[in-house]
């Protein structure tokens, strides 16, 4: 399993690994970039059966088949929605600045009603 160094982006070599369970493994990596030299640990986990095995282990199959599935990714906001969100963020910043400087909403007076 290729894993890039999270610091410099170079590929890393697996130095050693150990199984924590039939579904989870710790993998120790060393960055290939001599100048970087970062060493780090990755935890790999089997999370879902994509294609059922022809010789299933009942204990493992039960776990992998009953795992919660990740929800589908939401569609990115449309340009119109992005513009609306930016406008709301701007209004919130303006209101925070007004409150910070004591310029909050004016108090209604009896003569205004």
Q: In angstroms, rounded to a whole number, what is the distance separating the alpha carbons of residues 85 and 92? A: 11
For residue 4, which of 28, 29, 24, 21 has the smallest C-alpha distance?
A: 29
Q: Enter the DSSP assignment of 11.
A: B
Instruction: Give residue limits of the domains in the chain.
Output: 12-66
pLDDT tens for the chain, 113 residues long, are 889 999 999 999 999 999 999 999 999 999 999 999 999 999 999 988 888 888 988 888 878 876 555 566 677 888 888 898 888 888 888 888 777 777 665 555 566 55
Q: Is residue 44 a contact partner of residue 30, using CB atoms and an 8 Å limit? A: no
Number of Cβ within a 10 Å radius of residue 31: 22
Q: How far is CA 35 from CA 1, 10, 31, 32, 38, in A?
A: 23, 11, 9, 9, 9
Q: What pLDDT does 109 receive?
A: 59
């Amino acid at each position: 399993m290729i894993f890039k160094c999270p610091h410099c982006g170079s590929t890393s070599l697996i130095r050693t690994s150990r199984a924590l369970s039939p579904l989870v493994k710790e993998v120790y990596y060393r960055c290939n970039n001599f100048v970087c030299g970062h060493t780090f640990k990755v935890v790999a986990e089997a999370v879902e059966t994509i294609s059922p095995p022809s010789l299933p282990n009942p204990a493992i199959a039960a776990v992998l088949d009953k795992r919660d599935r990740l929800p589908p990714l939401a569609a990115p906001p449309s340009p119109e929605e992005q513009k609306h969100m930016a406008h709301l963020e701007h209004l919130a910043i303006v209101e925070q600045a007004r409150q910070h400087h004591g310029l909050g909403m004016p108090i209604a007076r009896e003569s205004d009603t």
